[in-house]
Amino acid sequence: MAIKVLIVDDAVFMRNMIREVFTPDRFEVVAEAANGQEAIDRYKQHKPDLVTMDIVMPMMSGIDATRAIVEHDANAKIIMCSALGQEALVMEALDAGASDFIVKPFQPDDVLKVVNKVLSR
């Protein structure tokens, strides 16, 4: 059975890049969201096994969305996507319940390495 993934990023090109990392034989991208509120709604609707979450987004940040998702599902596996120089935000995201993080720009192998680590916990 494929691992269900929710991709959250306000930039369409970044969602497309992340989607390309997830091979269809192992992963199924069940939904995408462009802001934190959409992320919460899509999470509740699709119950994905894994979320990739941008930190800085309009309307609601990835950190606030992570808090809300973890409140809804304490076992949620959320990987934060941050730009270089956002270390303080990454720490805040981990405190909010994120499982791990990847730093943009990233290589597909780097993403899969973190995904595999998070899923094996």
State the first-to-last Cα distance of the chain, in angstroms, to the nearest integer: 18
Beta bridge partners of 36: none
Q: Where are the alpha helices (DSSP H) in 26-107?
A: 36-46, 62-72, 87-96
Q: How many domains does the chain have?
A: 1
Q: For the whole model, what pTM was predicted?
A: 0.94
d(CA 28, CA 46): 11
Q: What CATH number did the domain enclosing 14 receive? A: 3.40.50.2300
Q: Residues 84-103: pLDDT tens digits?
A: 777 888 899 999 999 999 98
Average pLDDT, the chain: 94
Range of the domain at 32: 3-119
Q: Residues 63-88: pLDDT tens digits?
A: 999 999 999 999 999 999 988 777 88
